[in-house]
Amino acid sequence: MDQTDWDALRTAATAVAERAHAPYSRYRVGAAALADDGRLLVGCNVENAAYGVTLCAECGVVSQLHASGGGRLTHFVCVNGAGEVIMPCGRCRQLLFEHGGSDLMLWTVSGIKPMSEVLPDAFGPDDLEGTN
């Protein structure tokens, strides 16, 4: 994927950030990803009066991945309300790893990197092989 495509992904993330439901933090997040068949997936954060129930923008992306036919994530970016690239939180790195694996490419605050660098030595589905 070239920089033009990454820019389009970031534009999609910035657009969906405007739809965030973030009345408590007032921190809007938009996320966008590509699936392995080229589908564009987006999500925004959805906060809750019970703060811990908040859904990060990444949750929306993963839900849309499965709701629209499944597959694997191949490329991902998330941004704040100003359209600046931000890092997925720790929990969401784990979430993204489950659905994209080590080769998922992410646009991070320090450039485009594989998940193997964003979440090194990740615990994942392979660790459960043969345990049940």
**Residues noted as catalytic:** 58
Q: Which range binds ligand THU by CB under 6 A, 5-13, 23-31, 61-69, 112-120?
A: 23-31
Candidate list 10, 17, 47, 85; residue touching ligand THU; CB under 6 A: 47
SS (H, E, C) 31-65: EEEEECCCCEEEEECECCCCHHHCECHHHHHHHHH
Candidate list 8, 11, 19, 22; residue touching ligand THU; CB under 6 A: 22
Nearer to ligand THU, 29 or 42 (CB): 29
Q: CA 120, 125, 128: angle at the middle one, nearest 5?
A: 115
Determine the residue type at 74. T
> Where does this chain bind ligand THU (CB under 6 A)?
22, 25, 27, 29, 45, 47, 54, 56-58, 78, 88-89, 92
